[in-house]
Each structure stands twice: as C-alpha cells, then as structure tokens.
Amino acid sequence: MTVADRETRVVEQVSKQLLIGGRWHDAKSGATFKVEDPSTGSVLCEVADAGTEDAFAALDAAAEAQSSWARHAPRDRGEILRRGYELLMERQDDLALLMTLEMGKPVAEAKGEIAYAAEFFRWFSEEAVRIEGGYSLAPNGQARFLIMRQPVGPSMLITPWNFPMAMGTRKIGPAIAAGCTMVLKPAQQTPLSALALADILREAGLPEGVLSVITTTDAGGVTEPLLRDGRIRKLSFTGSTSVGRRLLEQSASQVLRTSMELGGNAPFLVFDDADLDAAVDGAMQAKMRNIGEACTAANRFYVQAAIAPEFARRLGERMAALKLGRGTDEDVQVGPLIDARAREKVQSLVDDAVGRGAEVLVGGGPGEGDGYFYRPTVLSGVSKESELSTTEIFGPVAPVITFETEEEALAAANDTEYGLVSYVFTENLKRALRVSEALETGMVGLNQGIVSNPAAPFGGVKHSGLGREGGRVGIDEFVEMKYVGIGGV
C-alpha cells in the first residue's frame, strides 16, 4: 500500500456524521464543512455541520441516559476505559497518521500524543473504583455524617485543535469514571480525531447516549443554548481566555460547574548556575513540543545576562537544525501551523519585536511550500515592551530576554495576567525552592521542559483557568459531594 493510499484509507474509515444517542446521523440541515490538511491547504474530506437542533438532540440523549449510566458499577465504567486504552494503543499508527493529516504535527509526535491520550483512559479506569465518601460521628455525638460523592450530571466538553485526541481523553476519562453523560464539541479544524475516538469508545462498550459528538462551524450558536438550557450541569473547556470568559458568562445563568484550561504566557527562567546543556534541552522541549502550538509552550525566555549569549547561540543551532516539512514525510520534526491566520499572527509578533530592536538569530519568516509553515526562530535582544512579551505566540518562536537578578526575573515572569506554567533551570536547591514558590503559576517545570502527565493535576491560576485535570483530583471536577445527616442512632 502506498503512502497516499494509506492516507486515503485512514480518512475514509472515520465516520463523517454526528454521533447522537449512540448512532451516526447527518446534520438535520444536511450541511457539511471541509477539513483541511494544513501542510498542503488541500481538503481531506467534509464532515457534518451541526446546528442547534442537532445539539439539542445530543443533549436529549445525554439527559435521558444519565440516571441509568450513573447506576453502572464503577468497575464496569473502569473496564470500558481500560478497553478504550487498549484499542487506542492497538491503533496508534493509524490514529497518529489521521491526526497529522488534519492538524499537521509530525507523525512521530502524533504517535506520542496517542500514547499520552491513552494514558488518561488507563489512569481514570483505575480511579473509577476509588470515588470515596465518608462516615463519621458528629462532634456532639448526637448524629452521624454520611458523605457521598455522586456524578455531577450531563456535561458539555469543548476541546481545542492543538491536541485533538489527548484533550478529548483528558475530559472524557474522568467523566466516564464518575458516571457522567457527555456532549463533546471538538474544534472544527480537527474533528476527525474526535470522531475516531468516539467510535473506539462505542467499540469498547460505552452505552448509547453516554457520549454524543457534535462537529460544527457555529460553536457559539450550538453551545450557548445548551449551557443555558438547565440540563447541562458541567462545562469543561480548553481554549483561549477570551472564549473562556464568554463561556463563563453563559454558564452563570444556570450556575454551572466549570473547569477551564485557558491561555498561557509561560516564562522560562535560566539562571547562571544552571546546567546549560540541560537548559537548552529543556528549552527545545518546552518551546517546540507541538510546533509551539501549546498553552504550555515556553513563551518568554528570561536568561541571566552572563550566559544569555551562549544560551541563545546553542538554542539557535538546535532550532536551525530542525527539519521543516509535511508531518508525514520522513525525519520531519516541525510541521505547519494550523492555518494562514496563525502564521500571520506569528509573523506579526516577530516583526514587532524586530522593529523594537530584536536580532533574528535563526528563522524569522515563513517556510517554503503550499502549507502554513513557519521556520523555527530565535530572537535575541528582545525588548520587554515587545508584543511577544505579553501575547501567547502559539508558534515556533523563542524570544530571549536578559535579566540580572533573581528578583528582576521573578517580577518579569509574574508580570502577566496568565498563570498556567513556568520553567526554571538552576542547580541551586534553595533558589529552586524560592523561585518555585514565588512563581504565580499552577505548574512549574523545575529543570525539565515538559510538565504534562495524566497522573498529575494540570491547570493554571489567574486568567489561565479554573480547576484541574488529571491526577487524583481530576475526577473531582465531575462529582458533587452530598452530606446525609443521620439522627437517632
């Protein structure tokens, strides 16, 4: 089978319809929209374009299935997730290729995402049987306290395009484990991964109506009526802070439980006592994972002045050596950005920095080809007034900014409305603890460039979000606590 034949096959085998109540349906209007390959600009296929009527059909299914699904034994829910994990790993190669075609990341990296995504199912399959309550005596001895943890109810899950499989499993996993039904709305740029995931869960034994998938180009028109309906009791969203704010306003009318992973502006701090080789390795991971299109991507590189020139030189050499191209091609390490608008934004930020005195050490412009490529870029001498310092880049650009003292570095790192993750490289233990405690972020990568792990609580502070996903606390977002007071015992 040729490469082109395999690409055609993995796209063809995915349903292009809406999953509602356990069955595949066309949109009521018959509308469809095109899914584009960002490496070529060509159309891969068309999928159903849902409207409000379709969305309410999905909500009807979720509401109808909720009570029976909540009664399923925790072990049974865990076994469905375990089978889902196994199927994801069995089909890792095809699912990775599918993701690369619709999102652009290199196949090797897409395979890593499938494994990462599958781990959420494995983790929450084990957590499903550990939803514990409590029983205790009242302080005055006159009553007993019974504490229950029950599913919050039908949940709206909204996922982004940059990690189309992992962001789905990170939300679906705890919802299934807790006993919640779901309506999933994936990003319109990457609907195929979500549809493939839904089909895997059907095969794993997920009952009809527990998960519906609505693909649409009218995100606001589809989601807002559901959030205001009253039957949705939980919203989990990953995306931009601006959209998150609007969703919070819409959720307020029904006082919905919300968890949100929003924008980031991650500082990457390198002190002069750091292992420079380790710092450059960490910088490559923190910056270039997912082509820089990640909320956790290092956005601002603050490097102590004495070592800044050497750090920038080494980072530039590593970035320049990366192979740019279509993610399906051999040895490619950097794929295209998601669309033309994303590339235009990155170029605008680079132009602004250069206009304020920054020097382009590597890259600085679009790559060759029909797709939305942008060359890995390192800038030195970046002004703190540059837009790069305040705007989430979402692309393969590393701006290097110097500092003199620890206090100066911390002030600059915390001078942002965002607070998702920060990175610190130092060999001084006392400094490591001081800086980690002082950074205003929900996560810190200390001498490492990747923090995401299904077994750890992922999330931010300030305008980077609410709640946590993953870890022991991830399932708490999908359960309510009920207290029963027992008298006369």
Q: How far apart are CA 310 and CA 445, in angstroms?
A: 22
* Strand 359-362 with 377-380, pairing: antiparallel
108 phi and psi angles, rounded to 5 deg = -60, -40
Structure tokens at 86: 């196994």
The values of phi and psi at residue 404, to 5°, are: -105, -45
- Of 269, 266, 295, which Cα lies nearest the Cα of 435? 269
Strands 397-403 and 298-304: parallel
Residue 222: helix, strand or coil by DSSP?
helix
| CB distance 444 to 419 below 8 Å | no
For the chain, give the number of residues: 489
Q: Which two tokens stand for residue 127?
A: 């957590």
- Taking the C-alpha atoms of residue 472 and residue 272, their distance in angstroms, rounded to an integer, is 36
d(CA 40, CA 45) in angstroms, rounded, equals 14
Tell me the two tokens of residue 367: 């790559």
- Encoded tokens for 365: 């412009």
Whether the CB-CB separation of 165 and 117 falls below 8 Å is answered with yes
Query: In whole angstroms, how far apart are CA 215 and each of 18, 186, 210, 211, 238?
Result: 7, 6, 17, 13, 16
Q: What gap in Å lies between CA 469 and CA 477, rounded to an integer? A: 8
Active-site residue among 102, 224, 261, 469? Answer: 261
Look-up of token digits 């800086």: 435
Provide CB contacts within 8 A for 292, sequence distance 6+. 393, 394, 395, 396, 397
Q: Which two three-digit tokens encode residue 485?
A: 């007071």
Q: Which residue has the tokens 């132009």?
A: 351
Distance from C-alpha of 249 to C-alpha of 261, rounded to nearest angstrom: 16
* Contact in structure between 126 and 353 (CB atoms under 8 Å): no
3-state secondary structure of 130: helix
- Told to judge if 385 belongs to the known catalytic residues of this protein, a careful annotator would answer no
Q: Report yes or no: 440 and 419 within 8 Å, Cβ to Cβ.
A: yes
Which active-site residues does the annotation give? 261
